[in-house]
Amino acid sequence: MRDNKKEIQALFDDLLINVTRFFRDEAVFRALKKRFLPTLLKNKRKDRQPELRAWVPGCASGEEVYSLAICILETLGRKPSKMRIQIFGTDLSESVIEHARLGIYSNAIEKDVSPARLKRFFVKRDSTYQIHRNVRDICTFARQNITADPPFSRLDLISCRNVLIYLSPELHKRCIPQFHYALTAGGYLILGPAESVGLYDELFKLVDKKNKIYAKAAVTTPRTADLIPQRGLELSHFGTRSTVGAGAHLGGDLLKVADRIMLSAYAPAAVVIDQDMHVQQFRGRTDLFLEHTPGPATFNLVQLARPTLAADLRATIHRAIKTDKPARKERAKVKLSGRSNEINIQAVPFRIPASDKSWLLVIFDETTKATKPEKLPRALGKTATEREVGELRRELAAAKESLQAIIEEQEATNEELKSSNEEIESSNEELQSTNEELETAKEELQSTNEELTTLNEELSNRNLEMMQLTGELNNLLASIQMPIVMVDNALTVRRATPAARTAFNILPTDIGRPLTELRPNIDVPDLENVLREVIETLGTRERKVTDQTGRKYSLRVRPYRTTDNKIDGAVLTLIDIDGDSDRGSSKKRKRGAREKQEVTTE
């Protein structure tokens, strides 16, 4: 657990009690809607900018916050309102706060939320429900410790139900005055069934005993000094320890205070920076070495450093980052008010436990006071010219070192830019290749589309032709007073003329049925064999047959040929022989009578 902070956080979350649900204790919300919320809203409408603010400490995963929000929205009604609603939900656990912010719950909430509320205030997503946007927008969630962090202010309603029962009496005494301070005049405090304001009954008036709803009393909130601070709680909780333990604790506090005084009085100025040279913390008086320049605000240490110090500072930090070891620059020059001072610069890399990020502590150590005046000329030269030359050489060496550091940084930057450029070029090539493929696919699709359009037109023309031919064929068959039946290779009836319905006993619904299943009125026992023989031999068969009345017909069977000269069935034709004989005799009789009449006339 020492090496893994997530396990510590998981243990912390397990120790917390996060039991809640929507509209827990329905009677409380009914009382709010019927009595207390209408009063609050009525008083708020008198304000110039009406606003209703509520707070739910210990909100867990947010069910009570959203329940209160739904209750307020139902009280306002569906009409547009200028009332600004803001509800704060806080808890000690960051994980449950994240859950509350999402506002997604399982379908188990159907037991606690009515179908009408589910339809109006929730959005159904598969097996879950998500809180509607108009409810989510008026709720704000944050992590807060009500026993240590300051409370919200100007509140009209605080719902702290079933939270105080888990706190010690000392913490209970701390929370109640904070609630009184946070509420406005006429505000309400809601507690759980087993909770009360305790010794602070003068701060609140019980207005609903059954639902434990209190109204803020018009009295002064106890001063901050009267409230038990967090550190005081620790001392009072451990007040029964031995005198030796108290003395050891006192000695530790004395040591910390003494160290703090020593550091503030004698420690050198320093800053904590990250790998990008951005200042994260200032320690001591750094105004002698750092200053803000006109223009956009920045925390870059090199830009904050005084101009005469920037080169040495950059070189020292670069050396420390490169070697990952402390780096030091002696006698760096810095000019203040026209005077030149010397300081030592030290950059110390370090890391925080359980973190991989590297930091640097940059220390500015003044050395002018520690340098002995009588040794300075000997170190720098006997004459003023020699001292000046030595100083110039030292400045030149520092400038060279700083320039080298800048060159190395530039080279590293160039390498990174080169690598990035190569990646961008590679991505560009891939995108170009993909674009070419898409262009090719687009052209192929256009070509295919044109072909399909042409084919569609051809099919449409074919359909029109087929419809015309079908119509002509139907009219032709209907006008022919001759029994004709067409069958396919399986001897299934494909088409028949109206005259064939009597001879072959075919109904319009028999189209598509095998001819062998029908009972024709003509006597052809081996009709099936005749048809198959015609289809197989491609020959034509003709025989005389009679119907059930004894009328004689000539049955002709020939193959059915398609347009591509393929055999696809057979065609049966019946010719009435007796009818032809009768018509021939009648014609002869009429001709004889006409000739006899002509002779008589002569």
Q: Concatenated DSSP letters for 70-94?
A: HHHHHHH-SS----EEEEEEEES-H
Question: Is residue 227 scored above 50 in pLDDT?
Answer: no
Confidence of residue 53 (pLDDT cuts 50, 70, 90): very high
CATH 3.80.30.20 fits 12-228, yes or no: no
Q: Residue 283's pLDDT is what?
A: 82
Nearest to 500, CA basis, from 480, 471, 476? 480
Residues 6+ apart with CB under 8 A from 381: 387, 389, 390
Confidence of residue 259 (pLDDT cuts 50, 70, 90): low
Distance CA 417, CA 404 (A): 19
Question: Is residue 226 scored above 50 in pLDDT?
Answer: no
Question: Is residue 119 scored above 90 in pLDDT?
Answer: yes
Tens of pLDDT, residue by residue over 202-225, are: 899 999 999 999 999 988 877 543
Confidence of residue 234 (pLDDT cuts 50, 70, 90): very low
Residues 6+ apart with CB under 8 A from 164: 172, 175, 191, 192, 195
Question: Is residue 248 scored above 80 in pLDDT?
Answer: no
Distance CA 209, CA 198 (A): 14
SS3 for 456-504 is HHHHHHHHHHHHHHHHHHHHHHHHCCCCEEEECCCCEEEEECCCHHHHC
Tokens coding 206:
């019980």
Residue 376 CA: distances (Å) to CA of 167, 200, 369: 68, 73, 12
Q: Residue 208's pLDDT is what?
A: 92
User: Considering the chain, what percentage of its residues have pLDDT values greater than 70?
Assistant: 83
Average pLDDT of 585-593?
A: 61
Tens of pLDDT, residue by residue over 427-482, are: 777 788 788 889 889 999 999 999 999 999 999 999 999 998 888 887 887 777 78
Question: Is residue 245 scored above 50 in pLDDT?
Answer: no
Distance CA 351, CA 365 (A): 22
Over the chain, what is the mean pLDDT? Answer: 81
Question: Is residue 239 scored above 50 in pLDDT?
Answer: no
Stretch among 61-70, 328-337, 549-558 having the lowest mean pLDDT: 328-337
Tokens coding 289:
């070495």
Question: Is residue 379 scored above 80 in pLDDT?
Answer: no
Long-range contacts of 265-270 (CB under 8 A, 24+ apart): 268/363, 268/364, 268/365, 268/366, 269/363, 269/364, 270/361, 270/362, 270/363, 270/364
Average pLDDT of 325-335?
A: 83
Residue 283 CA: distances (Å) to CA of 141, 314, 465: 34, 19, 97
Residue located via tokens 């893994």: 4
Q: Residue 456's pLDDT is what?
A: 93
Superfamily name and number for 480-584: PAS domain (3.30.450.20)
Distance CA 343, CA 329 (A): 9
Distance CA 156, CA 184 (A): 6
Fold classification of 264-371 is Beta-Lactamase (3.30.450)
- How wide is the angle at C-alpha 469 spanned by C-alphas 466 and 571, nearest 5°? 110
Residue 17 CA: distances (Å) to CA of 55, 162, 163: 19, 10, 9
Residue 332 CA: distances (Å) to CA of 300, 307, 341, 461, 562: 19, 12, 8, 96, 108
**Residue ranges covered by each domain of the chain:** 12-228, 264-371, 379-479, 480-584
Nearest to 146, CA basis, from 62, 90, 214, 87? 90
Question: Is residue 54 scored above 60 in pLDDT?
Answer: yes
Q: Residue 411's pLDDT is what?
A: 80
Question: Is residue 419 scored above 90 in pLDDT?
Answer: no
Residues 6+ apart with CB under 8 A from 96: 13, 16, 18, 60, 61, 62
Is there a shared CATH topology between the 12-228 domain and the 264-371 domain?
no
Q: Residue 587's pLDDT is what?
A: 58
Confidence of residue 351 (pLDDT cuts 50, 70, 90): confident
Question: Is residue 231 scored above 50 in pLDDT?
Answer: no
Confidence of residue 371 (pLDDT cuts 50, 70, 90): very low
Confidence of residue 16 (pLDDT cuts 50, 70, 90): low
Residue 307, classed as helix, strand or coil, is helix
Bigger pLDDT: 50 vs 339: 50
Distance CA 392, CA 379 (A): 14
Tens of pLDDT, residue by residue over 279-316, are: 988 887 787 888 887 878 888 888 888 888 888 888 88
